[in-house]
Amino acid sequence: MDRRGFIQKVGRGSMLAALAAVAGVLVARKQVQPDQECIDGFSCRECRSLSDCQLPEAITTRKHG
């Protein structure tokens, strides 16, 4: 293996690792946490956390406006 091949393989490996890390973070953020509670009494339309909330009521509210 020459220097050029080594650098190419290291570059590709680094990009693959970065892509896997980004995908892992995005997947982890979208998971519903079972101990998550509503902070605003299920008034989803007026809630300040509606865009980030993963409770089923908030997802339904975002979907249907």
What are the tens digits of pLDDT across the range 25-43?
888 776 655 566 777 676 7
Locate 21 and state its tokens.
Answer: 């890390």
Question: Are 38 and 25 in a shared domain?
Answer: no
Number of domains in the chain: 2
Beta-carbon neighbour count of residue 55 at 10 Å? 18
Q: Which residue's entry shows tokens 């091949």?
A: 5
- Token representation of residue 63: 């979907």
Q: What is the pLDDT of residue 7?
A: 96
Are 24 and 44 members of one domain?
no
* Contact (Cβ atoms closer than 8 angstroms) between residue 54 and residue 47: no
Average pLDDT over residues 30-58: 74
Check whether residue 22 and residue 3 sit in a common domain: yes
* Lowest mean pLDDT, pick from 8-17, 29-38, 41-50: 29-38
Domain that holds residue 16: 1-31
